[in-house]
């Protein structure tokens, strides 16, 4: 049992906490637990953070908490988690923020691996934009790391939000929400080396952390490691700034940003996140390393209708062509699939049930979809079958029937791609990426 659980004072699933109906716990940290919740007044999903009772009983902390919550609520940035409310219920302090449903960057890196370099730079640029707004408002975050970057998948892309301002503080050093006697706040893997020597956090220490986050998003590993915290701190102090191998404008540009953001001497870093944001955005304007298809191309405007025989595959062929191009780009395929479970790992919800009948229906659907791929020029029968299996399993027979893409006999029905819901499109992208390895040859 955790110390926080021993403290008690946290609501149960389904309990009312003021105007909020409490859902599942989605996070926990040194300052409290975070729950999904429904704001019953506005009928919207929110994240409800309830401060650990030990801190809530500290009068100095309570006063600082109110000041900090009010200050955070004043931040208005498209890449910072919005604060909606704060208050107290039966002696328990709480903070209500925007609910970002698709997980954090650390979890997605563990589950899906690293994205393509362009996507990694894009995520870091978005975080830098949020951090620039934090700095412009006169605050320092002090704990920039992948676990504090929340992601939302929408329109074939990923939006990043900087969250968890549990140890945010004004740049003048007043009213920090750090418990008395605590060590330097932050996470050692991402902390600027001077913080361990007692230096005061400022925008340049956030910049260092963001440089570490960029490296982790590119490689899946923290920039430095050590057998102990002391060895890790020593590595941050003494080892050179890591650099990507290889050549090309993008690699060279990333390495320049890393070298400046993670400079050992704070005076050699970006002064705050604004110029770092601008440099990252400039990298995104470089010629892409692969063929990048704009998001709008996923569902282009329909052409003039042409007569077609029953179960024609022309629309399916168009979708295959578009998603094949996206697979070459890999950026959008990663955005489509990072939040999905591996369809091969467990049955998709919405299946027809167990038994021979369900298996027969699945076999009919897979064969019908594979035949559609074959008719459109996928000569490799194994590839066509693999894609069909992943798409059918990833979507589920019942959903494919409900959307009209399977008839009563489980045969594939061609419909306009505009009628395909996001879940089916994501499953299609996942199937293509899984079976082709993210690369489709001409």
Q: Indicate which residues carry an active-site annotation.
A: 143
DSSP string covering 423-439: HHHHHHHHHHHHHHTT-
Rounded CA gap, 94 and 293, in Å?
44
Phi, psi of 307 (to 5 degrees): -60, 140
Measured at the CA of 8, the angle between CA 6 and CA 13, to 5 degrees, comes to 120
DSSP string across 58-76: -HHHHHHHHHHHHHHHT--
- Measured CA to CA, the distance from residue 66 to residue 272 in angstroms comes to 26
DSSP state of 202: -
Could you tell me if 91 and 172 are in contact, meaning their C-beta atoms sit under 8 angstroms apart? no
Per DSSP bridges, beta strands 157-162 and 92-98 are unpaired
Q: Order of strands across the sheet with 44-51? A: 16-17, 20-29, 32-39, 44-51, 92-98, 83-89
Q: How far apart are CA 78 and CA 130, in angstroms?
A: 7
Tokens representing residue 269 in the block: 């870093």
């Amino acid at each position: 049992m955790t110390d926080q659980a021993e403290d008690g004072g946290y609501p149960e699933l389904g309990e009312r906490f003021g105007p909020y109906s409490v859902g599942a716990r989605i996070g926990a940290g040194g300052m409290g637990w975070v729950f999904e919740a429904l704001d019953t007044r506005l009928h919207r999903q929110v994240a409800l953070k309830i401060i650990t009772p030990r801190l809530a009983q500290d009068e100095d902390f309570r006063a600082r908490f109110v000041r900090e919550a009010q200050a955070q609520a004043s931040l208005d940035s498209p890449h910072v988690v919005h604060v909606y409310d704060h208050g107290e219920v039966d002696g328990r302090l709480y903070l209500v923020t925007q609910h970002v449903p698709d997980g954090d960057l650390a979890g997605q890196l563990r589950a899906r691996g690293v994205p393509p370099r362009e996507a990694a730079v894009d995520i870091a640029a978005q975080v830098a934009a949020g951090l620039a707004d934090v700095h412009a408002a006169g605050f320092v975050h002090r704990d920039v790391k992948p676990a504090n970057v929340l992601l939302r998948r929408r329109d074939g892309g990923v939006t990043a939000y900087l969250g968890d301002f549990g140890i945010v503080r004004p740049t003048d050093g007043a009213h920090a929400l750090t418990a008395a006697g605590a060590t330097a706040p932050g996470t050692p893997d991402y902390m600027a080396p001077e913080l361990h020597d007692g230096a005061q956090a400022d925008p340049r220490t956030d910049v260092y952390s963001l440089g570490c986050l960029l490296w982790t998003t590119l490689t899946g590993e923290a920039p430095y490691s050590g057998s102990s915290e002391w060895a890790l701190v020593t590595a941050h102090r003494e080892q050179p700034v890591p650099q990507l191998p290889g050549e090309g404008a993008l690699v060279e540009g990333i390495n320049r940003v890393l070298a400046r953001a993670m400079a050992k001497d704070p005076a050699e870093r970006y002064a705050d996140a604004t110029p770092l944001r601008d440099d990252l955005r400039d990298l995104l304007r470089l010629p892409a390393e692969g063929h990048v298809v704009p998001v709008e191309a996923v569902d282009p405007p329909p052409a003039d209708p042409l007569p077609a025989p029953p179960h024609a595959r022309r629309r399916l062929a168009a979708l295959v062509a578009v998603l094949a191009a996206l697979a070459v780009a890999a950026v959008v395929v990663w955005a489509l699939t990072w939040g999905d479970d591996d369809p091969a790992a467990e049955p998709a919800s919405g299946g027809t049930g167990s038994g021979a009948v369900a298996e027969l229906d699945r076999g009919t659907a897979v064969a019908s979809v594979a035949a559609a791929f074959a008719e459109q020029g996928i000569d490799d029968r194994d590839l066509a079958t693999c894609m069909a299996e992943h798409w059918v399993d990833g979507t589920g027979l019942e959903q494919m029937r409900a959307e009209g893409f399977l008839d009563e006999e489980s045969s594939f029905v061609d419909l306009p791609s505009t009628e395909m819901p996001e879940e089916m499109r994501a499953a299609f992208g996942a199937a293509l990426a899984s079976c082709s390895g993210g690369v489709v040859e001409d």
